[in-house]
């Protein structure tokens, strides 16, 4: 299926100039002018849900507004295809691959169906993640470049699945990863693109202070006392119990409340177990607020982040950590584990504080609660850092420069 324009709120480039300044937008227009008459196709496997669809929902309309004809196609498949690609996804993250070799045939069969169904005639094609990777067989010589945009951590993949995918990846003109640590040794050039957030989305836009206050009230959180928050799915890798332990240490010395907010516990049995464990660890402390949010709650998340004194992200493993980006954008002091993409965002003692343990987390939260001027400085620097590197407009600029690079190379 081709996705027309799914954005409910259609922010224009002009709206972004209100946030970023007009020079930034003029730069995008100048780059795009050099691509006049060129066309692009984005392909992924879902139009809604998940970070990739969220980013494409903004990048595609912005590219179009910049005058580059951009098509967004979604790969289709039956349940059997998505069962295979889910198993691939887990295996590429290092888990065992339990399926029989039929899985590879299923993957190839749906790839072929989609190759026959979709049109591939743009100058550039950007294929997102492993699901559509085998579409590369449809590349024609008239096209300028096909790039594979990998959003997942490929540093320790299951070898069997990777051996199957690698020959497809090596036929692209380049591969894009979200962190140097996620990349593989490949025969094609590799590029680093950071994920990004939309400053005008419901999750990140400015909110009326009264809305923030009402949201805190709704969740029975006291706005007059410090609020320490971690927003995350209830998943062990996000270490919510470690967060409770850190809070309990802080609480011996400073008054504060803890908010642990996340969703997914209704349809994910494991999340439910984690939620129960967190409840047990919290005990009867009325200052710990465990919020099981509905899956789509961007305004609530925005308000909780904005109402917080300190944002924590104490993950044991992490992809990029968009909750960190969101906290920094809201000028909050962030205390976060030095894992995955977090150190690219949190530069220790400059844009936030990096930690490696429960005790370290407690120490840094206490430090921030008793040094509000430093906390504010970190938050301001964090906001600037996100503005420069992790906004949706940076992703658009990155694509434009990559396309220009391919044109220059005469590919
Ligand atoms: N998020 C959400 N609801 C929740 C928990 C998280 O919408 O209950 C959002 C959060 O604001 C962020 C994204 O989901 O935008 C999580 O991305 P991140 O990279 O932090 O972690 P992931 O869940 O992808 O491991």
Model confidence pLDDT, tens digit, residues 133-158:
999 999 999 999 999 999 988 989 99
Q: Is the pLDDT of residue 306 over 70?
A: yes
Contact 52 CB / ligand 1 (< 6 Å): no
The pLDDT assigned to 48 comes to 81
Best probe residue, ligand 1, of 294, 301, 326 (max atoms within 8 Å of C-beta): 301
Beta carbons of 83 and 45 less than 8 angstroms apart:
no
**Ligand 1 and 307: CB distance under 6 A:** no
What's the pLDDT score for residue 267?
A: 65
Query: Looking at the predicted structure, is the pLDDT value of residue 265 above 70?
Result: no
What's the number of CA atoms in the CB half-sphere (13 Å) around residue 141? 0
Q: Is 236 in the pocket of ligand 1 (CB under 6 A)?
A: no
Give the distance (Å) from ligand 1 centre to CA of residue 380. Answer: 22
pLDDT at 180: 87
Ligand 1 centre distance from Cα of residue 239 (Å): 14
Cα 232 to ligand 1 centre (Å): 6
Residue 91 to residue 154: CA distance in whole angstroms = 10
- Centroid of chain to Cα 294: 19
In ligand 1, the atom with minimum distance to the C-alpha of 233 is: 5
CB 231 near ligand 1, within 6 Å? yes
Residue nearest (by alpha carbon) to ligand 1 atom 17: 322
The owner of tokens 């995918």 is 165
Q: Encoding tokens for residue 330?
A: 């809201």
Decide if pLDDT at 368 tops 70.
yes
Ligand 1 atom at shortest distance from the alpha carbon of 297: 7
pLDDT at 50: 77
pLDDT at 220 over 80: yes
Handedness of CA 211, 213, 214, 220 (dihedral sign): positive
Question: What is the 342 CA–ligand 1 centroid distance (Å)?
Answer: 14
pTM over 0.85: yes
**From the CB of 322, is ligand 1 less than 6 Å away?**
yes
Percent of the chain with pLDDT over 90: 84
Cα gap 110→74, rounded to integer Å: 13
pLDDT confidence band for 47 (50 / 70 / 90): confident
pLDDT band (50, 70, 90) for residue 296:
confident
pLDDT of residue 9 exceeding 60: no
- Residue pair 267/170 in contact by the 8 Å Cβ criterion: no
pLDDT(189) > 70: yes
Assess whether the C-beta atom of 138 lies below 6 angstroms from ligand 1: no
pLDDT at 409 (0 to 100): 78
Residue 301 near ligand 1, beta carbon < 6 Å: yes
- pLDDT band at residue 68 under the 50/70/90 scheme: very high
Higher pLDDT, residue 317 or 61: 61
Whether 262 lines ligand 1, by a CB cut-off of 6 Å, is yes
Ligand 1 geometric centre to CA of 213 (Å):
22
pLDDT digits (tens, 9 = 90+) for 155-174: 899 999 999 999 999 999 99
Q: Residue 209, SS3?
A: helix
Question: Which residue minimizes the CA distance to atom 21 of ligand 1?
Answer: 321
Query: How far is the centre of ligand 1, averaged over its atoms, from the C-alpha of 79 (Å)?
Result: 25
Question: In this predicted structure, what is the pLDDT of residue 49?
Answer: 75
- In degrees, rounded to 5, the angle at the alpha carbon of residue 389 between the alpha carbons of residues 385 and 394 is 145
Query: Residue range 110-118: average pLDDT?
Result: 98
Whole-angstrom CA distances from 311 to 71, 215, 265, 325, 396 are 38, 17, 22, 11, 28
> What is the arithmetic mean of pLDDT over 312-330?
95
Residue for token digits 């409840």?
279
Rounded Cα distance, 149 and 178, in Å: 9
Q: State if residue 317 touches ligand 1 by the CB under 6 angstroms criterion.
A: no
Per the model's pLDDT, the better-predicted residue between 346 and 410 turns out to be: 346
Residue 183: band (very low, low, confident or very high) from pLDDT cuts 50, 70, 90 = confident
342 ligand 1 Cβ < 6 A: no
């Amino acid at each position: 299926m081709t996705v027309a324009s799914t954005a409910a709120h259609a922010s224009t480039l002009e709206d972004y100039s209100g946030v970023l300044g007009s020079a930034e937008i003029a730069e995008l227009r100048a780059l795009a002018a050099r691509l006049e008459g060129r066309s692009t196709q984005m392909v992924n496997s879902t139009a809604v849900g998940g970070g990739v669809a969220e980013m494409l929902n903004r990048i595609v309309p912005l590219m179009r507004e910049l005058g580059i004809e951009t098509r967004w196609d979604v790969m289709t498949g039956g349940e059997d295809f998505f069962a295979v690609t889910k198993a691939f996804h887990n295996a590429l993250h290092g888990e065992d691959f339990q399926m029989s070799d039929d899985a590879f045939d299923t993957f190839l069969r749906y790839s072929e169906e989609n190759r026959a169904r979709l049109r591939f005639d743009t100058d550039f094609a950007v294929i997102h993640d492993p699901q559509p990777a085998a579409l590369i067989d449809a590349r024609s010589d008239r096209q300028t470049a096909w790039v594979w945009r990998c959003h997942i951590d490929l540093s320790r993949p299951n070898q069997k699945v990777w051996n199957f995918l690698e020959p497809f990846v090596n036929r692209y003109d380049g591969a894009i990863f979200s962190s140097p640590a996620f990349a593989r040794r490949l025969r094609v050039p590799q590029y680093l693109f950071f994920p990004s957030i939309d400053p005008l989305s419901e999750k990140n836009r400015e909110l009326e202070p009264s809305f923030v206050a009402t949201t805190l009230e709704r969740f029975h959180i006291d706005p007059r006392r410090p609020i320490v928050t971690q927003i995350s799915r209830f998943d062990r890798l996000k270490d919510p119990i470690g967060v409770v332990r850190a809070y309990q240490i802080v609480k011996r010395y400073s008054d504060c409340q803890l908010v642990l907010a996340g969703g997914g516990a209704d349809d994910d049995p494991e999340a439910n177990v984690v939620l129960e464990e967190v409840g047990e660890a919290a005990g009867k402390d009325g200052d710990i607020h465990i919020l099981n949010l509905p899956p789509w709650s961007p305004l609530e998340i925005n308000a909780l982040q904005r109402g917080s004194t300190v944002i924590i992200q104490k993950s044991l493993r992490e992809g990029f950590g968009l909750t960190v980006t969101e906290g920094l954008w809201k000028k909050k002091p962030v205390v976060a584990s030095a894992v995955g993409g977090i150190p690219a965002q949190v530069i220790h003692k400059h844009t936030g504080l990096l930690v490696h343990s429960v005790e370290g987390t407690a120490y840094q939260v206490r430090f921030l609660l008793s040094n509000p001027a430093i906390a504010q400085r970190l938050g301001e620097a964090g906001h600037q850092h996100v503005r420069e590197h992790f906004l949706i407009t940076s992703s658009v600029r990155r694509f434009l420069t990559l396309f220009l690079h391919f044109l220059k190379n005469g590919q």
